[in-house]
Amino acid sequence: MSDWLQREIHLPAQRRGFHLVTGEVLEQLPELHAYRTGLLHLFIRHTSASLTINENADPDVRGDLERHFNQMVPENQPYYEHTLEGPDDMPAHIKTVLIGPSVSIPVSNGELNLGTWQGIYLCEHRDRAGSRTLVATLHGEK
């Protein structure tokens, strides 16, 4: 039987940086275990934070990502015209475009079919963000 589940997931405010949120996401999707084959789509409803998948082990990877993205997309570039919301705002939009607002993950036998070293990241690009809302869309065969 093919089935859809769609739900908002709220992630508490995080400091600027890359954060592992696999646990928080799974906690809010207990029905996942009933899906034999399918896909989980996670979509962030914001323009200055993004979602991706990367290493779930060494936290230095997350620190290095933050440091590198700050070099690739610096604050206070002379050509920025969208500056009213603070120096971290326009870089946050650019980083979101580079990383993207969604991830889509295979579901197999009631589990996310991630590799051993993969986890879901919330990439928070603002200095003082509030909580972030995701829309989770789970679709598959039960």
Q: Which stretches of the chain bind a copy of itself, using CB under 8 A?
A: 2, 4, 6, 37-39, 41, 43-47, 52-55, 58, 60-61, 63-65, 67-68, 71-73, 77, 79-82, 90, 93-94, 96-106, 108, 113-118, 121, 133, 135, 137, 139-141
What crossing angle do the helices spanning 89-99 and 59-72 adopt, rounded to 10°? 120
Residue 6, classified by CB atoms within 10 Å of its CB into exposed (0-12), middle (13-18) or buried (19+), is: exposed
The least distance separating a copy of itself from the CB of residue 38, rounded to whole angstroms, comes to 7
The least distance separating a copy of itself from the CB of residue 27, rounded to whole angstroms, comes to 20
- CB of 9 closer than 8 Å to CB of 134: yes
| Cβ proximity to a copy of itself, 27 vs 85, nearer residue | 85
The least distance separating a copy of itself from the CB of residue 119, rounded to whole angstroms, comes to 9
Q: Return d(Cα 81, Cα 116) in angstroms, integer.
A: 43
